[in-house]
Structure 1
Amino acid sequence: MDAGLPSHLADRYLLTGFAGAELPDVLALADVVISRSGAGTIAELTALGKAAVFVHVGRQRAGAQGTITI
């Protein structure tokens, strides 16, 4: 993914569309997490003590979680 960041900032950020099995490692390395505001996500990030910005994506149909693109 290309975030279109200036070169002096591009090395400081990792923009990813989806994190699968590597999610625990990604969260361990993150200083701040920007994520959807699902109850499970909020609980996990609170337990890890991570600073977070939550994005509300509204109502979803069952099973839609894997198809969201923001």
Structure 2
Amino acid sequence: MPHPVLETDECIGCGICVDACPQGVLEIAGGVVVLENEDACVACGDCVEECPMGCITEIVED
């Protein structure tokens, strides 16, 4: 199953990645991005491209 790799240390909680994800995989919780619905990820990479802080580094398959 694909899913984004999150590096939340630099996350500013802007929500751009959440808005970019067409599948609703991400959400902002506690001021940082978290996986909300990991199973819905289709590995499109939109979140990786849109994160202004580079907190989503890649999409990996388990």
Give the structure-1-normalised TM-score: 0.28
Which structure: larger Rg?
A: 1
